[in-house]
Chain A
Amino acid sequence: MSNNLDLKKGLNIPVKGAAAPEVIQTVSPDIVAVKPTDFKGLVPRLLVKEGDIVKAGSPVMADKQRPEILLTSPVSGTVQQVVRGEKRKLLAVVVKADAKQEYVDFGAKAPASAAETKDLLLKSGLWGALIQRPYGVMAGPEDTPKAIFVSSFCTAPLAADFEFTLGDSLKDIQAGIDALAKVAPVHVSVKKGSNTFAQLKNATLHTVSGPHPAGNVGVQISHIAPIMKGDLVWTLSLLHLAAIGHVINTGKLDLTRKVAVTGPAAPKTGYVQCLPGTPVKAITAADPDVRIIGGNVLTGETLGAEGYLGFFENQLTLLREGYEREWFGWAKPLRPKVYSSSWCYFSWLTPKKQYDMDTNLHGGPRAFVETKCFEDVTPMDIFPIYLIKACLAGDIEKMEKFGIYEVLPEDLALCDYVDPSKNEIQAIIQKGIDLMIKEMA
């Protein structure tokens, strides 16, 4: 077990549009959406109908198989609409917010046992914040994990800075750790040189340094205690750890967060204080040819101008769609506007430059040719290319051998980025994981 990780492999993508640490706006939205699609492994069952009155913390949905898992409304108000998609798939429950917020009282007291902690999480709707590894699905209430891992920093491109957004919530975070420590040992990784979160107690602290994906909890776990067959660990975001602590300290579910509005196409970058489920258009304006991504450029989902901020998201990234076609782009000696981490271009001459990136693929899909580029951005004890090929082949035994239990698509997101053959590595890994879930169930 290591308490100090210095990771060398990885890549910080120099995309323009970081958010300066100041709150530029506080949004109290008219409507807020609860999206069951945010939670992997949840089959939603509706608990409310249009016109129902809810408080902040009232359940609106439950899991079909495990009815004790609840999704709760982040605001008090009236259920305005139940949004369904194809085959009546439940997409969102939209709640019209009251002017004055009322909260369900969960009782401001620290849980005395593992059972009490689990109970509080289930009731408050924060259970969904617990992600199980392997597979990256919602944790099961019956399970007891080997350990719980939290990363207190994020290295993804333009990611929100937890020191700024949660630096003043140390008391809540500590209360969250104390409650979870009743369930399993808690590990928190702290950015090397940061003092804020190094003060946390009742958890094993690990200092971590290195380029992205050093801040990914999966990468940290693979160095602290690799997940092997039969292991089960939980992870959660510092964001939700603070929310759990807030419920314990005040009895109220308050998911208000500072969301980083970032990216080269953002009209104004900075932090916006709002709730998950807030309509994107209430947070930022965008041109029609701009892609609005919930999360970062590597792993985020396209929300669109009509979308709602997701439960796990504390960042919006705005990128221009890259439809323009560049004459002889691949053959030009110099392409000052395009960044490449490969030394086949001359980006290495300008290491400090930030690039106005767009969504162009910069090439067409091909068979795998380069192999070392994947290893250079994967600071884990695995062979990415072999794992990827095992996933493509659907070979369970090989996937196990090559470490499918240790990874989620986000941990190999940089492989997507660097691949000259433009393969969709994250999609391949996700397909492999889905197959594992199906076959191992």
Chain B
Amino acid sequence: MADEKKPGLFEKGGKLYWLHSSIDAFDTFLRVPGTVTFKGAHVRDGIDLKRVMIMVVIALVPAALFGMYNVGLQTSTLYGLDWGFWNMFWYGLLRMLPLFVVSYVVGLAIEFGSSQIRGEEVNEGYLVTGFLIPLIVPVDVPLWMLALAVAFSVIFVKEVFGGTGMNIWNPALVARAFLFFSYPSSMSGSSVWVSKTWVPALKDVDAISAATPLAIAHDGAFDAATGAVGQYSFMDMVWGFVPGSTGETSVIAILIGALILVWTGVASWKIMVSSLAGGLLVGWLGQLAGATAVPCYYQLVMGGFLFGSVFMATDPVTAAQTETGKWIYGFLVGALAVVVRLWNPGYMEGMMLAILLMNTMAPLIDHCVVSSHTSRRAKKALTA
């Protein structure tokens, strides 16, 4: 297959050598490279970045599948229809498919092009980013907007820094932030989070509101007696039968993903746990201070908090790198996210900006951790 084409044409000196990054990418995608070690350790572990990245994608699958079903469910509920399980799922799948296609096609095209320019092998980081982006944007987002956001984030957040492993901010989140600040009307408000149907007769019901629990809670519609936020009960939010971006609604699906990530060691449980702790603490303080009536643990199940803590904050490239730093970083992500939720008049979802801010701060956290470690070492040297 790809290998047969290789000799001559794509080899060094061949006519199409300039395409070698792309050819290598397809080739090594199909088959593990036959490269042998030439210095350093003579044997190497079976793990490579492709495997690490595919683990993250697998961990995202439960949230994605549930999200597709939920897209159908929310639309069907909004119009007062009862489509049944499979129709809901098919609807969601068909709505999500173009988003995935656009995200991957645009992102990978840029990724391949940049690798060509750098003359390096294509990095597999975009496997995850491309899967994440459709899960965190409104399902009805115009595809050209999505394409623009993907292009912006891949070029200006990843490739200009040198590709996966060199970036400062999480590219998927920047794509979302780009949409949020450039096209706020498509990204916020109470009508964007549920997909409008394709049925023309039903299409023009613009006035219909489908606010997310987070927005409802923000407006103060919390029933302390039943524990419900608007029409949604606590268990609705745990299962995920609420409006929101595709991936974020189901606590259970996200926790399955978290289990996979922690079990395989791909993502840091320290960041997840400390982020939850930070969110709980600030949520509780907010309750005491009278900023909200919602119990602190609601903060974890509403909106994108859990999805962000599990899949976005834990990105090994943009998170803190030291083990102590991970505790601090995670805690501040959670705490900041809830601070934004509670003490911000306009914008109710704090997770995106909290993670991006902490991405910026992560090197500083690491610097402090490492400095205190080296000065401790220096002291030890003096006393020894």
Contacts and interface: CB of A to CB of B under 8 A. Distances in A.
A226 B381 contact: yes
- Interface secondary structure of B, over-half rule: loop
B45 to A, nearest CB: 5
Contacts of A339: 45-46
Interface string B154-168: 000000001111100
Interface stretch (A72-80, A177-185, A280-288, A295-303): A295-303
Given A226-B377, A359-B37, A375-B323, A367 B43 contact: no
Given A226-B384, A330-B32, A366-B165, A300 B49 contact: no
Choose among A226, A344, A418 the residue with the greatest number of B CB atoms under 10 Å from its CB. A344
- Interface secondary structure of A, over-half rule: loop
A359 B28 CA distance: 17
Interface in A269-319: 291, 293, 297-300, 302, 317, 319
B235 to A, nearest CB: 32
B41 A383 contact: no
A365 to B, nearest CB: 7
A299 B265 CA distance: 27
Contacts of A413: 40-41
Interface in B1-59: 3, 24, 28, 30-37, 39-52, 54-55
A325 B31 contact: yes
A300 B55 CA distance: 33
Given A357-B43, A360-B44, A369 B370 contact: no
A426 interface: yes
A413 B42 CA distance: 10
B345 to A, nearest CB: 39
B353 to A, nearest CB: 24
B190 to A, nearest CB: 39
A371 B369 CA distance: 15
Interface in A407-438: 409, 413-414, 416-422, 424-427
A335 B44 contact: no
B30 A417 contact: no
B152 to A, nearest CB: 21
Choose among B42, B49, B370 the residue with the greatest number of A CB atoms under 10 Å from its CB. B42
A328 B2 CA distance: 13
Interface stretch (B68-76, B179-187, B237-245, B314-322): B314-322
Contact of B49 (A298, A361, A366): A366
Contacts, number: 192
B36 A345 contact: no
Contacts of B24: 364
B49 A297 contact: no
Contacts of B123: 366-367
B195 interface: no
Choose among A229, A300, A372, A418 the residue with the greatest number of B CB atoms under 10 Å from its CB. A372
A344 B50 CA distance: 11
A48 interface: no
Interface in A111-162: 157
A335 B46 contact: yes
A366 B164 contact: yes
Interface of A: 13, 15, 157, 225-226, 228-229, 291, 293, 297-300, 302, 317, 319, 321-331, 335, 338-345, 347, 357-373, 375, 381, 383, 385-386, 401-403, 409, 413-414, 416-422, 424-427
Interface of B: 3, 24, 28, 30-37, 39-52, 54-55, 121, 123, 125, 162-166, 263-266, 268, 316-317, 321-323, 370, 373-374, 377-378, 380-381, 384
28 contacts: A297-B43, A298-B41, A298-B43, A300-B42, A317-B42, A322-B34, A326-B32, A339-B45, A341-B45, A344-B264, A347-B46, A360-B32, A362-B44, A362-B48, A363-B32, A363-B48, A364-B121, A367-B166, A369-B52, A369-B165, A383-B370, A386-B370, A409-B40, A413-B41, A414-B41, A420-B47, A421-B165, A422-B48
